[in-house]
């Protein structure tokens, strides 16, 4: 045998529990191993797992006596397949398929080493009451008005060498009829007439419509049949009880198996099929090899109260296990929680596992989760695009170093063209050389989004081999599952991020918007819209809050930008030391150089552009709440479309409304309004002076350009002055004539 063949055979053996096999099957497994070229040690090691029946040396004795009788390794594989095994799905040999359940439960409930198997005994003739068995069975399984289908006529199939029902049987009378007849009967033949005692009798466990015995004639999908004859009868009963199956009636078939009539309680045939698949999957995972034909809702089962050869078809018990399907399913899901074992701190104390590497220095570790929350116009998407680029290129982001690697950007909001242009704009604006574009993958899902519980497994299936160190999802409101204000539903929603992080061993980073209304007085953890789960679930929360800046702050920023521009556009800029930081000297050098090169017009246009930028920029403070790291120092930045730039200290003394008392907020807004009113009055005063001077010069209705030249502003600015004025208005401007400023009527 090759190494691969040995691994395959061993994998199949691992899926078979020797404690759940009968003696003949145990021998066949040994013969299959020998015919495959395996050694006795493999069979012996497998047999030793059944501590209750294992005897040292027994395998070797049997091994030497084996003759070739057509049993091969296929016998072993078939037995393993029936237990849910597949060589493709064992170990790590299989890629996850499109329809596979990610991280699915194995539904193993039984600890084979602890299951108690009692003695199985048929009742004696004296102790057995066949009529009572039938009566009790009918009373438990059916309502009085239910139509029952049953068969007592049989024939012997020579080819199959077994007895079978001779026809469709009877299916036209209700349970109440049989209960009435049984109450008067002395023996079962008084009600069901003669039957072949070698064959026994059968009954359909779901009520019929009286028109036939096919699936379409099933009136209610109440029960399914669980039957397994691959283990001793006593073990079958022990497994059924250990699995807590919601069994309405448990009976011995008079042959190799016990029949369990299990509550399914389905409202429709599709639901019935789904639940039976689930039921069979659980049973197979716990060692029961089931006949797939038993899934049929109109299936015949053995009817208690009848003899079958030398055995009795008798009722073992009723109403055992869980009370109904729902209770049982919840129990199964509960005991299969996939949670790790409880461990002792002492065992790891001297050999602590290493912490995950840092993805974003001082903020986030690889494999962890981060949420960025903020209001509209904060540029959250651009911030995430910048982070994507920072990780791909291995460069800083918001002053924090980033590990370099592959990133998946899940775009849920923008069309493909807009998304790609944004990446190009950020690269260009930050003057970055795109050396590692192959590290950035984009999944454009606008118009194709699905809820997060559906998206997560699809994402994992597509990307599990890519080794992304970060998955960035922008924004999450597009994929929220459930009510975002429900803590329970949002906990389940956020669990999807855990699933992605765990299955892909990657960091998950996503953004969410603030709740509506003023955020003043709220903590960072309470600003994100919806349930507080959003803020408490991630390992890192970065919350953006806008800073209101006054004219003095904005003027300082404008001067900073003017100096940067002056230095950039002054050929051979020569100032050094403190002079290079002196605004007046830098600007003098800029204008002197421009005049010497004859580029004053271009220089003026640059500075007007700087003025416009400074007016349009917004100021932001990043409030970090971290699980793995100490709270970082204050991070302030400016959003200068399309990028965020770190502040140089201009904003450090600005106090956001979230840190103000209601009285301070009111006072601040009053002052702000007073300043706006003062600026408006100043503009109107300047406009009045200019209009008065022009009138003295004989120009009663000057053009917009004439007024703009006097005010040393643009014509657009003059229009804004006039819009605020009750005294002046814009007139003319038609047929190619210039617009003029005249008195309001």
Do residue 502 and residue 565 come from a single domain? no
Each residue's pLDDT tens digit, 27-51: 889 998 988 888 898 999 888 888 7
What pLDDT shows up at residue 71?
80
Last residue of a domain, one of 523, 543, 563: 543
Do residue 276 and residue 413 come from a single domain? no
What pLDDT shows up at residue 246?
97
What pLDDT shows up at residue 110?
65
d(CA 290, CA 283): 8
pLDDT, block means (10 residues), the chain with 745 residues = 80 82 84 88 87 83 80 81 59 37 53 70 95 97 97 92 92 96 95 94 96 94 92 90 95 95 93 92 85 86 96 96 93 74 85 92 95 88 96 96 96 93 95 95 89 86 88 86 72 85 92 62 49 76 91 93 94 90 93 92 93 93 92 92 94 80 65 76 88 88 89 87 88 82 81
**C-alpha triplet 186, 192, 193: angle, nearest 5°:** 85
Do residue 601 and residue 693 come from a single domain? no
Do residue 230 and residue 301 come from a single domain? yes
What pLDDT shows up at residue 322?
95
Total number of domains in the chain: 5
Predicted TM-score (pTM) of the model is 0.53
Residue 172 lies in a domain: yes
Do residue 185 and residue 251 come from a single domain? yes
b/e sequence 335-361, b meaning 16+ C-beta within 10 Å: ebeeeeeeeeeeeeeeeeeeeeebbbe
d(CA 111, CA 400): 50
What pLDDT shows up at residue 742?
87
Do residue 654 and residue 712 come from a single domain? no
Do residue 522 and residue 587 come from a single domain? no
The answer to whether 16 and 25 have CB atoms below 8 angstroms apart is: no
Task: Output the domain CATH number for residue 295.
Answer: 3.90.920
What pLDDT shows up at residue 78?
79
Do residue 156 and residue 269 come from a single domain? yes
The H-assigned helical ranges of 220-349 are: 233-242, 269-285, 325-335, 345-349
Residue 415 lies in a domain: yes
Do residue 403 and residue 512 come from a single domain? yes
What pLDDT shows up at residue 736?
76
Residue 696 lies in a domain: yes
Residue 91 lies in a domain: no
Do residue 607 and residue 676 come from a single domain? no
Residue 100 lies in a domain: no
Task: Output the domain CATH number for residue 425.
Answer: 3.40.50.300
What pLDDT shows up at residue 515?
55
Specify the pairing of strand 407-411 against strand 470-474: parallel
Q: Which two tokens stand for residue 634?
A: 């204050």
Residue 403 lies in a domain: yes
Residue 104 lies in a domain: no
- φ/ψ (deg, to 5) at 24: -65, -40
For residue 648, the enclosing domain spans 551-628+644-659
Last residue of a domain, one of 543, 572, 589: 543
What pLDDT shows up at residue 311?
96
Do residue 325 and residue 277 come from a single domain? yes
Residue 116 lies in a domain: no
Last residue of a domain, one of 476, 510, 543: 543
323 CB neighbour count, 10 Å cutoff: 10
């Amino acid at each position: 045998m090759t190494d691969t063949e040995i691994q395959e055979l061993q994998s199949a053996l691992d899926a078979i529990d020797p404690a759940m096999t009968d003696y003949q099957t145990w021998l066949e497994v040994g013969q299959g191993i020998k015919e495959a070229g395996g050694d006795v040690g493999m069979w012996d090691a497998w047999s030793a797992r059944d501590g209750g029946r294992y005897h040292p040396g027994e395998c070797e004795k049997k091994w030497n006596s084996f003759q070739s009788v057509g049993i091969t390794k296929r016998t072993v594989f078939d037995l393993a397949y029936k237990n849910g095994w597949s060589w493709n799905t064992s170990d790590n040999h299989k890629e996850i398929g499109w329809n596979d359940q990610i991280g699915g439960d194995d539904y193993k409930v039984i600890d084979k080493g602890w299951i108690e198997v009692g003695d199985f005994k048929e009742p004696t003739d004296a102790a057995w009451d066949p009529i009572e068995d039938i009566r009790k069975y009918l009373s438990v399984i059916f309502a009085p008005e239910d139509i029952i289908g049953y068969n007592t006529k049989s024939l012997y199939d020579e080819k199959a060498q077994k007895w079978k029902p001779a026809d469709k049987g009877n299916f036209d009378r209700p349970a109440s009829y049989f209960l009435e007849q049984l109450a008067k009967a002395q023996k079962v033949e008084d009600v069901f007439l003669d039957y072949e005692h070698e064959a026994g009798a059968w009954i359909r466990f779901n009520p019929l419509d009286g028109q036939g015995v096919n699936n379409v004639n099933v009136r209610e999908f109440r029960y399914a049949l669980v039957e397994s004859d691959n283990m001793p009868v006593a073990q079958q009963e022990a497994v059924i009880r250990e699995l807590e199956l919601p069994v309405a009636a448990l009976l011995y078939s008079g042959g190799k198996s016990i029949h369990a009539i299990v509550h399914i309680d389905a409202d429709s045939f599709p639901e019935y099929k789904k639940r039976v698949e689930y039921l069979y999957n659980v049973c197979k995972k716990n060692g029961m090899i089931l006949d797939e034909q038993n899934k049929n809702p109109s299936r015949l089962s053995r009817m208690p109260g009848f003899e079958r050869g030398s055995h009795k078809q008798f009722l073992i018990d009723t109403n055992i296990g869980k009370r109904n399907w729902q209770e049982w399913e919840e129990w199964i899901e509960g005991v299969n929680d996939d949670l790790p074992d409880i461990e002792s701190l002492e065992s790891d104390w001297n050999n602590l596992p290493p912490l995950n590497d840092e993805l974003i220095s001082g903020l986030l570790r690889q494999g962890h989760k981060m949420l960025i929350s903020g209001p509209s116009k904060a540029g959250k998407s651009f911030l995430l695009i910048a982070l994507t680029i920072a990780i791909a290129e291995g460069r800083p982001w918001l002053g924090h170093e980033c590990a370099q690697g592959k990133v998946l950007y899940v775009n849920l909001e923008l069309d493909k063209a807009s998304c790609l242009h944004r990446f190009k704009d950020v690269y260009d604006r930050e003057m970055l050389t795109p050396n590692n574009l192959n590290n950035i993958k984009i999944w454009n899902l606008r118009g194709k989004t699905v809820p997060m519980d559906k998206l997560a497994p699809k994402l994992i299936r597509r990307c599990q081999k890519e080794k992304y160190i970060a998955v960035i999802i922008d924004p999450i409101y597009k994929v929220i599952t459930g009510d975002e204000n429900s803590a329970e539903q949002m906990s389940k929603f956020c669990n999807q991020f855990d699933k992605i992080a765990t299955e892909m061993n990657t960091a998950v980073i996503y953004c969410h918007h603030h709740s509506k209304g003023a955020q003043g007085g709220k903590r960072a953890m309470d600003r994100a819209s919806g349930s507080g789960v959003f803020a408490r679930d991630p390992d890192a929360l970065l919350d953006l809050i806008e800073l209101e800046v006054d004219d003095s702050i904005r003027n300082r920023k404008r001067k900073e930008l003017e100096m940067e521009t002056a230095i950039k556009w002054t050929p051979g800029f020569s100032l050094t030391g403190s002079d290079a930081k002196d605004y007046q000297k830098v600007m003098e050098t800029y204008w002197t150089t421009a005049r010497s090169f004859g580029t004053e017009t271009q220089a003026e246009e640059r500075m007007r552009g700087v003025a416009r930028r400074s007016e349009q920029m917004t100021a932001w403070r990043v409030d970090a709440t971290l699980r793995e790291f100490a709270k970082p120092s204050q991070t302030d930045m400016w959003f200068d479309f399309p990028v965020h730039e770190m502040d140089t200290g201009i904003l450090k003394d600005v106090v956001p409304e979230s840190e103000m008392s209601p009285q301070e907020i009111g006072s601040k807004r009053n002052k702000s309004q007073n300043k706006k009113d003062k600026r408006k009055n100043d503009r109107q005063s300047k406009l009045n002076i200019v209009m008065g001077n022009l009138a003295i010069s004989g120009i009663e209705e000057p053009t917009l350009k004439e007024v703009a030249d006097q005010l040393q502003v643009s014509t657009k600015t003059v229009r804004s002055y006039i819009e605020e004025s009750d005294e002046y208005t814009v007139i003319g401007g038609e047929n190619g004539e210039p617009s003029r400023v005249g008195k309001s009527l």
